Structure 1
Amino acid sequence: MKKEIRLEKIIPEYSTIEIKQKDQNVWVKSIVLNVHGKFIEVKQIEQFLSSAVMAGDTLQCMVIDEKNIYLMDSTVYNIKLITGSIVLEVHDLKTLANERKHKRYNALLSATFHEAGKLKEYYSVVLNISLSGLCIITNCELKQGDIIEVSINNPDTTLIYLQCVVKWSVDQGQKKLYGLSIEDIDEKNKFLLTDLIDKLEMFEKNQIKQLMESKPEYIF
């Protein structure tokens, strides 16, 4: 018998939740307005409108706290125009131990990498990053344990150079997601990475503040 989902025990109201459509790679943030049983009510955001999210659509959700990462598959149950919110019905919940040393921040940064000892470079996009790791998407084949040299295009300054090891991979059709752990970084690049993380943290704080303060927009 499938265990009953009681989300109010793990997801506090007015916490942040990350959501994406199943065929997308980028998570977007929203605010949890209400939680009851297997239902979550979240704030309507611009990305839901631009993607024309409708009742019955499938969305993936993620909530992270200090100890756990909660991954949820959900269906859009209802869209409330007056309150500017969307009600999601969660039908699958996975709980993973949060083993990350540092908080990850969403980012869309171009990057290249090459395997240690090889010259050929491959293009990738950094989807999220922290002081100890990052997630990239690329069409290159890598194996768990591979050591790669990564160059990240930092829009505000010079390239950031890292040596990383591949920890995991997930197929995304013709592309793959790779989780990388930063194994070696010199002081100069550590300073550049720290500065980038500080800016991403500030951007996220401002984004959450705007979400908390914004009122629903009505379109007639």
Structure 2
Amino acid sequence: MKGNRSSKPKLEITGMGFNPLLRNASAHHFLLLTPQSARSRILVQVHSQSRCIPSINPQRPPLKTLSIPISLPSRRIVVAMASSGSVQKSEEEWRAILSPEQFRILRQKGTEYPGTGEYDKFFGEGVYECAGCGTPLYKSTTKFNSGCGWPAFYEGFPGAITRTPDPDGRRIEITCTACGGHLGHVFKGEGFNTPTDERHCVNSISIKFTPASK
């Protein structure tokens, strides 16, 4: 009688909010391969696909928000601009105004490599707008340090963000309501100490920062 053959680990790429995973078919857990340099990599065992695990310090970093009042567009104006949905362009028009990387992420739903984005560890005072159409999306006071490798916000301007479940139902995509540009994904219930218990995991290249007026 031949012994049972051990199944080989399967590589699963899950995209924004997750790192490459090695799935062990004989156990109910995943092995998370965190992004490191070519010389060294750290292997961390986790039991949840939705939780963000910092690649260096596994402990959740403290919430970092800003409480200084800043000048922002009124809520009524923001909602009107975000809800119009009138920013419609052809693929050729988007290619003409966006950089190749912006087009790949905003229009083709790509993902930037974790830890490489301009706004990952940036905490200036102001407003984050859609890099495609300029619609205000997030106040800087809603940004926090998740340690995940992408900018994290706990809520957007009312009506500015559209949520769409992925076809497999595992994640919820977030897009700019006005132009449909891909921003990233939103996760809930990860335990971050935020008012909404949500993490909007956003590509830096999908947004642009406008400083608060002095």
Q: TM-score normalised by the shorter chain: which range applies? A: under 0.3
Question: Taking CA–CA contacts closer than 8 Å with sequence separation of 6 or more, which of the two structures ends up with the larger relative contact order?
Answer: 2
- State TM-score, norm by structure 2: 0.27
TM-score relative to the length of structure 1? 0.26
- Structure showing the higher strand proportion among its residues: 1
